[in-house]
Amino acid sequence: MLSKKQARAFFLGGTVVTFLIFIGLTVYSLSSAQDQTHRENMTESVIRGKYIWEKNNCMGCHTLLGEGGYYAPELTKVVERRGDAYIKAALMSKTPWGSNGRQMVAYGMSEKDANDVVAFFKWIGEIDLNGFDRVVSPLAKKKTN
C-alpha cells in the first residue's frame, strides 16, 4: 500500500509523463514530415474549386473525407470512380438529374467552374488516407450489406 506522499508522487509523476507524451505526439503530428495533403499540388484552380464547393453548400448533401451530409454520394475519390467527363456533365447540367427519387441540383456551371471543381476533387482524391482506400458514407455501407 502506498503512503499518502508516495501516492501523490506517483500521481504527479504519471501526470507529467502523460503530458510530455501528449506534447511530443502533438509536435510530431503537426510536423511537415507528417503532412499528407500534398499542398505542393494545390493550384489556383483547386482553390477556386473549393470556393465553388463551399459557395454552393455541396457539403449539405455530399460527404467529403467522411464529413458532410449523407443524402448524396461520398465524393472523396469520385474522380477515380466516375471520371472527369461524368462530373463535368453533372455540374454543367441545366436540368436536375438523378436516380432513386433523389436529384442533383441543376447548377448549370460554366466549363471553367466545372473544371475547377474537378481539380478540387482530384486534389482531395490524392490525399493519403492512411490505408483506407475509400471513405464510404453510412448510406453506401447500408446498400452494400
Together in a domain, 73 and 113: yes
Together in a domain, 63 and 100: yes
The whole-number pLDDT of residue 126 equals 85
Together in a domain, 24 and 76: no
The whole-number pLDDT of residue 86 equals 92
The whole-number pLDDT of residue 137 equals 44
* 138 pLDDT higher than 50: no
- List of residues 6+ apart from 139 with CB closer than 8 A: 70
N-terminal to C-terminal alpha carbon distance within the chain = 53
The whole-number pLDDT of residue 132 equals 63
Together in a domain, 61 and 130: yes
Together in a domain, 73 and 131: yes
DSSP 93-145: -SS-B-STT--B------HHHHHHHHHHHHHHHTS--TT-S----HHHHHHH-
Together in a domain, 74 and 107: yes
| Residue-number span of the structural domain to which 130 is assigned | 38-144
Q: Return the percentage of the chain with pLDDT > 70, whole number.
A: 88
Residue 117 contacts residue 53 (beta carbons within 8 Å):
yes
Together in a domain, 44 and 107: yes
- The length of the chain is 145
CA distance linking residue 84 with residue 105, whole number of Å: 18
Together in a domain, 119 and 72: yes
Together in a domain, 29 and 46: no
The gap from C-alpha 92 to its chain's centroid, in whole angstroms, comes to: 23
Together in a domain, 19 and 46: no
Instruction: Provide the number of structural domains found in the chain.
Output: 2
Together in a domain, 44 and 62: yes
pLDDT tens readout for residues 27-82: 988 887 777 667 777 899 999 999 999 999 999 999 998 888 888 888 988 998 89
What's 53's domain CATH number?
1.10.760.10
Together in a domain, 9 and 67: no
